[in-house]
Each structure stands twice: as structure tokens, then as C-alpha cells.
Copies of this chain bind each other. A is one copy, B any other.
Amino acid sequence: MSEQSHKYFTTGEFAKLCHISKQTLFYYDEIGLLSPYIKEDNGYRYYTYSQYEVYIVIELLKDLGMPLKEIRNFLNNKTPIEAIQLLTSQLDEIDNKISKLQHIRTIAETTIKIIKEALEVDWESITVENLPERTLLISQHLRHATNRQYLNAVTDFIDLCNKHELYTGHPIGAILAEEEILAENFGNYSYLYTEMPSSIEKVSTIVRPAGQYIIAYHKGNDKEIAPSYHRIFEFVKEHQLAIKNFAYEEYILDEVAVNGAENYVTKIMIPIK
């Protein structure tokens, strides 16, 4: 080395310091992002401690999703003021990233909870249970919608859920009116719905009231749900009950946990008089 008295890291040493590969340092040198302080005639690279500080900033910005080109452009023309501005704007970016991760966490937790519950119940069983009150976000009215209108409604409803970060991993369910049940038009849903933490202004919500509900399950494709409703009808007759208002259907096992519609499990909840 030309300046033997100086304190320089070789490429390998500097790579270890940064916990990255030597190849990555070559690449960073090539694109002008982080070039060694000294490059000898034999091509050997030497880095200083200050460049480690720069690497820390590069890593920070990279982890926040900034492209290397932009990082390079910032570093090559930086002033203290610009550094403050950039880092300050990144603080908001970090906060967004954190709240997105917290949202993802909620979704994962809810999904786990639902699958676990699904594995614990006997899908053949029909029971009467007391359900607590729930606030439900609902779609536009669907009862007489064409396929096209139905698809648009699904899209709108999902956008609505995402817009307010209301999607918490709870599946999107469907509400079937008593008349449609009795007329055996099982595909003719009135609304889509999803559970929400609590009522939020400016969005249409309904309350699924607390009370006694028939809880039944349907295994298989939605389109072949009729036999499951027939089982419910028999149960109702046998126990001298009467259903009222709406049936609430939601997938508790779907493509997320099982393969193929024939293995899906739908939970059916119907309030009784």
C-alpha cells in the first residue's frame, strides 16, 4: 500500500464489517454507490471507517425500499439540510411500514384463530348456541343482481374493506334472507359482510344481534349447499324451532388452508325465534 501508516480495511475486511459479501461491494463500486477510498494500481480496494458510516446510511435507506440509484444520487450531492430532509421524510415511511406490519400481524392472527376453530368442530354437528353481538360491514344490496353486478359488488366491497384497513383476516361472508332460504334459492344472497372491531362512521354497518343461533357446517362447494340446509330444516322440525331474519354464511376453511372447493367448510349461522 502506498500509505503504509494508514488505517484501511481491505475489501474482505470491510465486507465482514458490513456483514455483506465482497461481491456486493464490487457491485456497489461499479454502480458508484460506495467506492473505496483508495484503489491501487493493482486494483486492490481500501476502505476507511467513514465509509462504514456511509454504508450504514445506505443500508438504512435500502431497508426502507429506496432504490440504490436514488441513494447514490442523494449521497453524491448531499448537504446537511438535504440529509435532514431525507431522513425526516423516511420517518413517516418507517411509521407506515410498521403499521402495515401490525395490520399483517392482525390478519395472520385472525386467520390462525379461524383455522384452529375449524379444526375443533365436528362439521356434521348442528347445535344451538348463544352468539354475542357483532358489528358487520356490509356490501350494497345483491339480491337481484346479475353476475356482472355481483362481481362489481364484490370488488367494491373488497376495496371498501381495504380502504379503511377494516380487513382483519375475517373471511368475507354472505347474508341470505329467510324468504330465499325457505324458497331454496340458496345462491341468492342479500349482502356480503365481514366482521369489524366496532362501528366506524361513513360506512354501512349492521349489527348481528346477540341471541340463540343454529350453528351448522357445510363441507364442499358452495353451489351444493342445499343438502346442508335440508339437514338444518330437519333439525329445526325435530327440535320444534323456527328460523328468522337471515342466515349468515362464512368460509372457515377455504383455499387458504385446504386444496379444492370440495374440501372447503362453510359455517352457517341462523337466528331462531
Main secondary structure on A side of the interface with B? helix
In the assembled complex, the Cα of A88 lies from the Cα of B116 at a distance in Å of 11
Contact present for B147 and A5 (CB under 8 Å): yes
* Given A105-B94, A112-B87, A7 and B150 contact (CB-CB distance below 8 Å): yes
A76 / chain B contacts, CB cutoff of 8 Å: 259
A206 at the interface (CB under 8 A from B): no
A132 at the interface (CB under 8 A from B): no
A31 / chain B contacts, CB cutoff of 8 Å: none
Contact present for A112 and B88 (CB under 8 Å): yes
- Per the 8 Å Cβ criterion, residues 1-25 of A in contact with B are 5-9, 13, 16-17
Q: How large is the interface on A (under 10, 10 to 19, 20 to 34, 35 or more residues)?
A: 35 or more
A101 / chain B contacts, CB cutoff of 8 Å: 94, 97-98, 101
Contact present for B151 and A78 (CB under 8 Å): no
Besides the known contacts A50-B264, A83-B256, A84-B116, 19 further A-B residue pairs in the complex with CB atoms under 8 A apart: A5-B147, A13-B151, A17-B155, A49-B172, A53-B255, A53-B256, A54-B255, A56-B107, A60-B108, A78-B259, A80-B115, A80-B118, A80-B119, A80-B257, A81-B119, A84-B115, A87-B108, A91-B105, A98-B101
In the assembled complex, the Cα of A195 lies from the Cα of B56 at a distance in Å of 17
A251 / chain B contacts, CB cutoff of 8 Å: 53
A254 at the interface (CB under 8 A from B): yes
